[in-house]
């Protein structure tokens, strides 16, 4: 177990880099996308006008697509483990969902069951982000490159899916940002993805008890 001065490594450098790249792309795509939809000249001009903002959206979309592919290519085992974790739901995860991990003030949470590397809420966010990003990509490229050769109904459909998936993803990421950076109970894990990769070992032994036990066993 990679432990220094009471801390354990939760996210590797490559994972953190990939998360930063996706986060920056997401902000640019979200801002330009909102500007197109609501016709916000202030944001469009920030990106150099209508044509340039459209180019920025498209080419950021290319990086947004390639970054995870390159990451998976070089980190296949790590990615497979991530998928395995976020698709495994046991009675402990259901127990977490019943109490919402104690994050919601009016939901009683006397006992929060032990969690994996990601709690049940994070698992659901992970699945939503992956499904949402795939939908943005498989609609975005045809909207860009096949707009004039697709039947009008397909153009309409891809546009609708792209827009409504963007709305859901932006709301989900706002919730994720609140929990990761602002909520006093969960923001203690901020540095694990945004800075050096480490989390407090004592905190993790309670918060992610199953994963911590796995690390101890592998030691």
Which residue of 89, 141, 203, 210 would you call a contact of ligand HEM, by CB under 6 A? 141
How many angstroms separate the CA atoms of 106 and 206, rounded?
A: 22
Between strands 3-4 and 198-200, the pairing is unpaired
150 lines the binding site for ligand HEM (CB under 6 A): no
166 lines the binding site for ligand HEM (CB under 6 A): yes
Radius of gyration for the alpha carbons in the chain, expressed in angstroms and rounded: 20
Sheet order of strands, 198-200 included: 3-4, 7-9, 198-200
- The residue count of the chain comes to 219
Among 41-49, 94-102, 103-111, 121-129, the segment contacting ligand HEM (CB under 6 A): 121-129
192 lines the binding site for ligand HEM (CB under 6 A): yes
Which residue of 52, 137, 150, 157 would you call a contact of ligand HEM, by CB under 6 A? 137
Q: Where does 39-49 have alpha helices with state H?
A: 41-46
61 lines the binding site for ligand HEM (CB under 6 A): yes
Q: Which of 173, 138, 184 is nearest to 24 (CA)?
A: 173
Among 72-80, 91-99, 108-116, 184-192, the segment contacting ligand HEM (CB under 6 A): 184-192
Residue placing its CB nearer to ligand HEM in the complex, 52 or 109? 52
Tell me the closest approach of the beta carbon of residue 174 to ligand HEM, in angstroms. Answer: 8
Tokens of 196: 């050096």
């Amino acid at each position: 177990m990679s432990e220094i001065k009471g801390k354990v490594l939760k996210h590797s450098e490559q994972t953190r880099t990939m998360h930063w790249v996706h986060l920056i792309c997401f902000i640019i795509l979200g801002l330009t996308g909102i500007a197109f939809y609501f016709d916000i000249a202030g944001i469009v001009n920030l990106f150099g006008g209508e044509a340039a903002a459209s180019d920025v959206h498209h080419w950021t979309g290319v990086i947004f697509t390639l970054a995870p592919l390159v990451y998976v290519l070089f980190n296949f085992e790590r990615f497979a483990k991530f998928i395995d974790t976020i698709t495994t739901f046991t009675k402990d995860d259901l127990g977490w969902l019943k109490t919402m991990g104690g994050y919601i003030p009016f939901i009683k949470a006397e006992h929060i069951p032990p969690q994996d590397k990601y709690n049940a809420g994070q698992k659901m966010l992970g699945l939503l982000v992956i499904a949402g990003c795939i939908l943005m990509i498989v609609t975005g490229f045809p909207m860009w490159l096949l707009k004039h050769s697709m039947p009008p109904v397909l153009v309409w459909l891809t546009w609708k899916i792209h827009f409504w998936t963007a709305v859901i993803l932006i709301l989900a990421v706002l919730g994720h940002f609140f929990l990761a950076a602002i909520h006093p109970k969960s923001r203690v894990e901020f540095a694990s993805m945004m800075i050096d990769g480490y989390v407090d070992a004592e905190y993790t032994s309670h918060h992610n008890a199953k994963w911590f036990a796995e690390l101890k066993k592998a030691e």
